[in-house]
Amino acid sequence: MQSELLQHLKTFSFPLNVYAYVLAMEPEGLRYLHYGWFEDQSESIAVAQERSTRELLAWLPAPPARLLEVGAGIGTTLALLRVRGYDARGITPDQSQIDFMRIRHGSDFAVSQVRFEEVDTPPGTLDCILFQESSQYIALDQLFSRAAILLRPGGRVILCDEVLPGEPESGEYLHSVTRLKAAAAQLGFSLVEERDLSSKAAPTTDFLLAATARYREDLRRLFDISDEQIDALDESNRQYRRKYASGKYGYVALCFDAAA
C-alpha cells in the first residue's frame, strides 16, 4: 500500500481505520466505506460495494441536477457524480476524511466539513439528497425536517442503511424503518422506491470477520490497535451477523419524493 495512503488511514477514527485498511488491502483497493450488496457469497466485497452504489444511483434525477451527498466518506461516489455532470457537493463532519478526499480527488474537491444538521445550503435549492449509510448517524427528527427545508418542491431523498425492521428497542441506535417512513410521510414525502437488501448486505459481516483475522498483525503493528479492540470489533460483527440472521437487523434502500 502507498505510504501516503497508509498515513492517512491512520488518522481515521476506530473502527473506520480498520475497515478502510482491510478494504485497501483488497486487489481492487479502497473505493467505499459501505456494505456490499452480495448476489452470492463468492463474489468480492468490491463487486458487492460497486453494485450498491450503481443501483442506488439509478434512482437519481438526470444530470445536471443539484445534489448533496451526506457522509461522502472517501469521495468515490462524489467524484463519480461530478464526472456524470451533476452539480454535486459532499459533506462529512470528519476532517480526516476531508483530508483524504482532497489528496485523492484534488484540493478543490467539492466537499465541506459540516454535519447534515448544520449544513448551510440555501433552502429550497437541492434536487436530491443522498444518504449512503449516513442516515443512521442523524436523529430522525432532523433527517426529514432538514431535507424538507433544503430540497426544492418535488425534490428527492435517496437513502440506504442498516435499520431495525420492526419497532425501536432500547439499546438499539439504528432507525426503525417503520419510524423512518412515518417521519417522511409526516413531512409530506411519498415513498417511491423501496428495497429490502438485508440478505444481500449481511455477508459483509463475514468479509469483515475474515479480514480482521487475516490482518490482525498489521492492525496491531501499523495502527497500534490492541488485540482487545480487535476482539471487541469481531464480537460486534458476530452480533450483527446474528441479528441479520434472526431478522432483528435489516438493510434497506428507500427513495422519497418531497411534495411538489
Ligand X SMILES: C[S@@+](CC[C@H](N)C(=O)[O-])C[C@H]1O[C@@H](n2cnc3c(N)ncnc32)[C@H](O)[C@@H]1O
> Which chain residues interact with ligand X by CB under 6 A?
32-34, 70-73, 91-94, 97, 115-117, 132-134, 137-138
Least Å distance between CB 11 and ligand X?
13
Least Å distance between CB 88 and ligand X?
13
β partners of residue 220: none
Closer of 5 and 220 to ligand X (Cβ) = 5
- If one counts every other C-beta atom within 10 angstroms of the C-beta of residue 247, the result is 10
Return the SS3 of 226: coil
Least Å distance between CB 60 and ligand X?
14
Sequence letter at residue 226? S
Cβ-proximal residues to 203 (8 Å cutoff; 6+ apart), any chain: 36, 38, 41, 48
Closer of 19 and 223 to ligand X (Cβ) = 19
Closer of 73 and 155 to ligand X (Cβ) = 73
Rounded to an integer, what distance in angstroms lies between the CA atom of residue 251 and that of residue 196?
Answer: 6
Least Å distance between CB 13 and ligand X?
9
- Say if CB 126 and CB 154 are below 8 A apart: no
Least Å distance between CB 23 and ligand X?
10
- Measured in degrees and rounded to the nearest 5, phi and psi for residue 74 equal -110, 10
Least Å distance between CB 217 and ligand X?
25
First to last CA, the chain: 49
Closer of 145 and 220 to ligand X (Cβ) = 145
Cβ-proximal residues to 232 (8 Å cutoff; 6+ apart), any chain: none
**Nearest-CB residue for ligand X:** 71
Rounded to an integer, what distance in angstroms lies between the CA atom of residue 216 and that of residue 11?
Answer: 18
Rounded to an integer, what distance in angstroms lies between the CA atom of residue 76 and that of residue 101?
Answer: 9
Closer of 20 and 227 to ligand X (Cβ) = 20
Closer of 142 and 229 to ligand X (Cβ) = 142
